[in-house]
Amino acid sequence: MTIADAQLERVLADVNLGDAVALVDDMADIPLKSQCCEWRISPVSYLQRTFKYALMLLAVMFDTGCLLSGSHALEYFVPGSCGPGSDWDFYVTAYKESVADIVNVLKACGVTWHAETTRIEEELLRNKYVVISGSKLSSLGSWIKHMTPEAATELIGQQAFEMVQLFNKTSSSRSMNFRFELASSGKLTMRVAGVSPTSELDYEDPFGRSFSILNGHIDTPDGRQKVQLIIGHHYSNIRGSQWAH
């Protein structure tokens, strides 16, 4: 790439998408003109600045109907729209296979999720016990209903899967808290630990429909950036995913 080509690429990166296309159209033919234009308008080129396997990410987004919104979506069209603390906001419908696909592809692309199940497992391993509300356990159960044990474990983790199994066997109330204890043998036991002090509510959209947010982050050459997966309202008996808060 020549100095002129590099300068053109920098110019195109700093102007909005419409101006970039118009600028290239008005220019005389120069080496790499079309390549520079394709680089500017390609969403893969934009995503790969932050995410590994950007083409795979875009393909899964297309398959699941996942959308990128917020300032990082605007940044693609109008460079300079993002501030230092801007989040990557992905939206997906609450269809469990779609959510699982997006969670997994973003993880493969470098995102670390701050899942509630991670906190549960860490607390269990650290203290040898953890207290979880029946509402949260019921929500977890709705996510893995009809899944194979292997698929369920992949989605929520081994410890959380075993907790849901114990909870489902007792037909316990969503209004109660439950204490899970991990024996030295590795066996998990459960007992009632009182009534939940507060009712756990999902996030709601303006129409009162539940949605949930799964938070995470990705480390980039420009520093750590926050990633949010915003999951749509109730769908196919999936309760707002409390495990994602």
* pLDDT value for 195: 65
Considering the domain boundaries, does residue 29 fall inside one? yes
Q: Which domain holds residue 10?
A: 1-41
Is the Cβ–Cβ distance between 217 and 225 less than 8 Å? yes
**Residue 202, in any domain of the structure:** no
The verdict on residue 18 lying in a domain is yes
- pLDDT of the residue at 19: 62
Q: What is the mean pLDDT of each run of 10 residues along the chain (245 residues)?
A: 55 61 61 62 88 97 95 88 89 85 95 85 92 85 82 86 90 80 92 63 44 84 92 56 43
Whether the model clears a pTM of 0.75, i.e. scores above it, the answer is: no
Domain boundary among 195, 217, 232: 195
78 belongs to a structural domain: no
Burial class (CB in 10 A: 0-12, 13-18, 19+), 241: buried
Q: Residue 3: inside a domain, yes or no? A: yes
99 part of a folded domain: no
In a domain, 105, yes or no: no
Domain count of the chain? 2
Q: Is residue 93 part of a domain?
A: no
**CA 39 vs CA 28, 97, 134, 145, 197: distances in Å:** 18, 32, 50, 43, 54
